[in-house]
Chains A and B, each alone.
Chain A
Amino acid sequence: MADNAVQRETVLSLRETIARIENRRLAGVVKTVKAADPAGFRLRQEGTPASGRKVLPLGIPDLDDLLEGGLPLEGMTEIRNAQTRDAGAAAGFATALGALCQRARQQKGDDGAPVLWISQSLASTEAGLPYGLGLSAYGLDIRSLILSLPRTVKDALWIAETALSVSAFCAVILEIRGNPASLALSESRRLHVRARAGRIPLLLLRQSGHEEASSAFFRLHIEPAPARERPLPDGSMLCGSIGHPVFHVIAEKSRSPAPVGLFLEWNPHDRRFYPVEPLPAAAAADPEPAHSVARLSASSGRPGGAEPLGHLLAFPRAS
Chain B
Amino acid sequence: MRLVALDGLAEKSGFQLGQGVAEARAMCPEVDVLPADRAADRALLEGLADWCSRYTPLVALDGESGLYLDITGCAHLLGGEKSLLDDLLARLFHLGIEARAAISSSAGLSWAVARFGTQGVIAAEEAAGVLAPLPMAALRLPAETIETLGRVGLKQVGDIIEAPRAPLARRFGSMLLLRLDQAMGLEDEPLSPRLPVASLSAERRLSEPVQGEDDILVLTQELAARLKPELEKRGQGGRLFELLLFRVDGRVFRIAAGTSSPLIEPGRIAGLFRERLQAVHDDLDAGFGFEILRLSVPRSEKYEVMQEDFSGTPDRERPLAAFADRVMARLGAESLFVPVLSESHMPERAAVFQPLADVEMLKTLGEAVCAVPAALLATSARPQRLFQSPEPVEAVAEVPEGPPRSFRWRRSLHRIARAEGPERIAAEWWVDGETAAERDYFRVEDERGRRFWLFREGHYGGPTQPRWFMHGVFA
Contact = CB atoms under 8 A, between A and B. Distances in A.
A132 B473 contact: no
A162 B323 contact: yes
B74 interface: no
Interface string A141-184: 01111111110000100110011001110000000000000000
B369 A224 contact: no
Contacts of B234: none
By CB atoms of chain A within 10 A, which of B320, B351, B384 has the most? B384
Contacts of B89: none
A88 B475 contact: yes
B34 to A, nearest CB: 42
A88 B337 contact: no
By CB atoms of chain A within 10 A, which of B327, B337, B475 has the most? B475
Contacts of A286: 447
B10 interface: no
Contact of B327 (A142, A162, A242, A291): A162
A95 interface: yes
Interface stretch (B77-85, B170-178, B236-244, B406-414): B406-414
A148 B337 contact: yes
A209 interface: no
B67 interface: no
Contacts of A163: 323
A91 B384 contact: yes
B378 to A, nearest CB: 5
Given A159-B327, A162-B327, A289-B415, A134 B383 contact: yes
B451 A88 contact: yes
A138 B319 contact: no
Given A88-B385, A168-B323, A132 B351 contact: yes
B365 interface: yes
A309 B140 CA distance: 87
A133 B471 CA distance: 14
Contacts of A225: 449
B420 A241 contact: yes
A145 B335 CA distance: 14
B472 A86 contact: no
A132 B344 CA distance: 13
Contact of B341 (A87, A132, A148, A244): A132
By CB atoms of chain A within 10 A, which of B320, B327, B376, B385 has the most? B385
Interface of B: 313-314, 316, 319-320, 322-323, 326-327, 330-331, 335-341, 347, 350-353, 356, 362, 365-366, 369-370, 376-380, 382-388, 409-415, 417-418, 420, 443, 445, 447-452, 472-475
B341 A88 contact: no
Contact of A88 (B347, B382, B473): B473
B21 to A, nearest CB: 50
A131 B382 contact: yes
Interface string A77-89: 0000000111111
A254 to B, nearest CB: 22
Contact of B475 (A91, A168, A290): A91
Contacts of A268: 378, 380
A125 B389 CA distance: 10
A5 interface: no
State the 6 A-B residue pairs at the shortest beta-carbon distance, nearest first: A92-B475, A132-B351, A88-B473, A128-B385, A132-B339, A131-B386
B192 to A, nearest CB: 40
B466 to A, nearest CB: 23
A261 B267 CA distance: 49
A246 interface: yes
B376 A87 contact: no
By CB atoms of chain B within 10 A, which of A92, A136, A162, A248 has the most? A136
B464 to A, nearest CB: 26
22 contacts: A88-B383, A88-B451, A88-B473, A112-B316, A114-B362, A128-B473, A129-B387, A132-B341, A132-B352, A133-B347, A135-B339, A137-B377, A142-B369, A145-B338, A159-B327, A162-B327, A167-B319, A227-B451, A266-B475, A268-B378, A282-B448, A282-B449
B323 A166 contact: yes
Nearest to A117: B337
B450 A224 contact: yes
